[in-house]
Amino acid sequence: MANFLPRLVASCNERPLCLIRVLIGAACLLVLVVVWHDLIVSARANERAEVERVRTEAGIQVRAASDTVQASIDRFDFALRTASAAAKAGPEALALQGRIVTEALPADLVLQLFHIDADGYLSYSSLGAAPRNYLGDRDYFETLAADEGEQLVVSNPVLGRLTNKWSIQIARAVKRDGRFEGVVSIAVSPEVWMAQLRRYRHSPGDTLTLLSADGHYLLRTLDSADYFGKQVPLDRPFLLQREQVEGDFVAWGSNDGIERLFSWIRLPSGLIMVSGIALDDALAATRAFNRWSLIRTIVSTSLILLATGALIVALARYESVVRALGEREAHYRKVLDNMAEGILVIDPDDRIVSINPAFSTITGYREQEVKGRTPEMLSPTYAGARNLGAIIRSHASDRWADDFDGLHRSGDTYTGHALLSTVRDAGGVQRIVMLSDVTERRRKDAEIWRQANYDPLTGLPNRALMTDRLERMIGKARRNLACVVVLFIDLDQFKPVNDRFGHELGDLLLNEVARRLEVLFRDEDTVARIGGDEFVVLMSGEDAVGAGERSAERVVDSLSRPFVIDEHVLEISCSVGIARFPDDACDAAALLHQADLAMYRAKERGRATWSV
């Protein structure tokens, strides 16, 4: 900061409009900071206020729903107490009390009132006589059988074994002088009870849920009966803080993934009523208002920035244009001077106008030595040389690239690569040539190509190059209605020599075989080693048919003569197979295969011979 201020003051002194632009920019930023701060604060305050309203609404909703549910439970409990007394009085009293209870309570809500004896079997149902049904394994029966007090049990939804319908059992124990004599229970329809709670919802995403003390779903105004048997996540506050009577929290719904504000209250019966209001629905209007405020602020900000930017650009235009021109020229000159490629500019009369330092490094010529001269001077004059000047004149396109033979000022030659671009402006047409020395690169390319296409031991074409040449010869023969002959040569008795004298002498022998084969054939023929002690010869032409047999005889005769290598006299022979295009096959692979088969036929005939 200590160095920044002096530099800023000095810059403003040198450029008077700089201070004005800085002040305008600072004022614009200050205004925008204030506007956006107010927007963010207002949006957060609006959303907080709406969340508080939703929290209040959820609290009112859960209290109203809990009062309704508790009132229903109290009615059921009163009916169960009278039914318990009737059960102790006898079957007739229980049947009478069952009719009274079912008539007094809503028929669609109460499915039945029934009694289970101490042994766990259904002894009475308000629905009438029913098959003998064991219910002693129900959770509510086991809980009441083990309870020593006067507990009211509200069961999780159960599926009736006879009715095949879901119901919630509200049950009490029947005791006589403290002795357990069974259970009376009211089966309540969860769908009907749930329908009573739906009138408290405000939007489709809101939910009212009645839970057991351990968090299992009893009633839920969403998802129909899909929740039966399920439990809420164990991290809910009403399960973690069981001494707390009521509260609220924000969470994602475990069944549908909707974010809600939940308000809950613990009923005297131990059940938990939970009201959940979907925040996306409840906050939709507030968020829409905040989005509209954001859009207006973005538009206002854009207009302010546009006006401020236009003013700053107008003040700086003249100054920046002049400075940019000077900097651009210096930049381009620096780029050209530091390029690794040589640059020369040629005018419409094919005269060199200018060069860069890299050009002098590549060619050895300084600018004063080449300026005004033609590019011909950059190439040697021997016959067949690729002259740079001639190449430039022969290309009329706006852009091309080609190799040329270069001549260094010292007299050394090199392989160069030129990339030409044509520039047209008010001054006419100028050509820009970018030069580079690619001697080493081309040498490596040629070496890589040779390694990929020639056998490293004998220097003969390998299988890949041989196959390529064969395909080309077949294509030409097919067009000219000519013939192609393939000789497949396999050495006889080579393995014993290799095993006896070693691989080094074996390699020398293979080299001698290659030399003898090269002597036997024309330059336009191909002699290739395709692996091990196998060689292939390709011939084409009008007389190739007769030449095949004659050549095979010469090969057998030549390779059957002794070889003298490192004072060792080695005697081997060969078997030759002959195949012709188009008589024996119509493509390269098939032709080689036929020649290979013919070679094996020659071996079967006793070796040191040939076969077709």
Tens-digit pLDDT profile for residues 53-91: 988 888 888 898 888 888 888 998 999 999 888 888 888
Burial of 131 (0-12, 13-18, 19+ CB in 10 A): exposed
Under the banding of pLDDT at 50, 70 and 90, the label for residue 339 is low
pLDDT in tens, 525-577: 999 999 899 999 999 876 666 788 999 999 999 999 999 998 899 999 999 99
> Taking Cα atoms as reference points, which of 515, 527, 522, 572 lies closest to residue 544?
522
pLDDT at 508: 94
Pairing of strands 158-159, 166-176: antiparallel
Measuring CA to CA, which residue among 516, 492, 496, 497 is closest to residue 607? 492
- % of the chain with per-residue pLDDT over 70: 90
Instruction: Give the pLDDT confidence of 576-593 residue by residue, as tens digits.
Output: 999 999 999 999 999 999
HSE (side-chain half, CA atoms, 13 Å) at 419: 7
For residue range 393-420, what is the model confidence (pLDDT) as tens digits? Answer: 777 566 777 788 877 888 788 888 877 7
Across residues 197-204, what is the average pLDDT? Answer: 73
Q: Name, in order, each residue with C-beta under 8 angstroms of 26's C-beta and a sequence gap of 6 or more.
A: none
Query: Which parts of 86-165 are beta strand (E)?
Result: 110-116, 122-125, 153-154, 158-159
| Residue 178, SS3 per DSSP | coil
Instruction: Judge whether residue 110 has pLDDT over 70.
Output: yes
Q: In the structure, what pLDDT confidence band is assigned to residue 473 with cuts at 50, 70 and 90?
A: very high
Q: What number of other Cβ atoms are within 10 A of residue 506's Cβ?
A: 20
User: Which tokens sit at 252?
Assistant: 């994602």
Give the whole-angstrom CA distance, residue 557 versus residue 338: 66
Which positions are annotated as active-site residues? 533
Q: Which pLDDT band holds residue 472 (cuts at 50, 70, 90)?
A: very high
Question: pLDDT class for 312, splitting at 50, 70, 90?
Answer: confident
Give the per-residue pLDDT at 542: 67
pTM score, two decimals?
A: 0.47
pLDDT score, position 102: 82
Cα separation, 101 vs 83, whole angstroms? 8
Task: Note the pLDDT of residue 204.
Answer: 77
Distance CA 486, CA 435 (A): 46
pLDDT for 4 beyond 70: no
SS3 at position 231: strand
pLDDT > 80? residue 145: yes
Neighbours of 103 (CB within 10 A): 10
Compute the radius of gyration of the chain from its Cα atoms.
51
Q: How many CB atoms lie within 10 A of CB 147?
A: 14
* Single-letter code of the amino acid located at 228: F
Euclidean distance between CA atoms 319 and 309, whole angstroms: 16
Structure confidence at residue 611 (pLDDT): 93
Range picked from 162-166, 359-363, 432-436, 509-513 for highest mean pLDDT: 509-513
Mean pLDDT calculated for residue range 423-430: 65
Helix, strand, coil fractions of the chain, as percent rounded to 5? 50, 25, 25
Helix (H) or strand (E) holding 436: strand 428-437
Taking the C-alpha atoms of residue 442 and residue 534, their distance in angstroms, rounded to an integer, is: 32
Q: Spell out the domains of the chain, with CATH numbers in brackets.
A: 58-281 (3.30.450.20), 339-443 (3.30.450.20), 454-611 (3.30.70.270)
**Which of 104-118, 303-317, 376-390 shows the lowest per-residue confidence on average (mean pLDDT)?**
376-390
Q: What's the angle, vertex CA 385, arms to CA 379 and CA 390, rounded to 5?
A: 65
Averaged pLDDT score across all residues of the chain? 84
Tokens linked to 60: 């009112």
77 and 152 in contact (C-beta within 8 Å)?
yes
Are the beta carbons of 416 and 358 closer than 8 angstroms?
A: no
Most confident of 34-38, 174-178, 366-370, 506-510: 506-510
Helix (H) or strand (E) holding 564: strand 563-565
Question: In the prediction, which pLDDT does 538 show?
Answer: 96
Here the tokens at position 371 are 């300026």
For residue 26, pLDDT beyond 80: yes
- Average pLDDT estimate for 175-193: 88
| Among candidate residues 561, 550, 563, 539, the one with its CA nearest the CA of residue 610 | 550
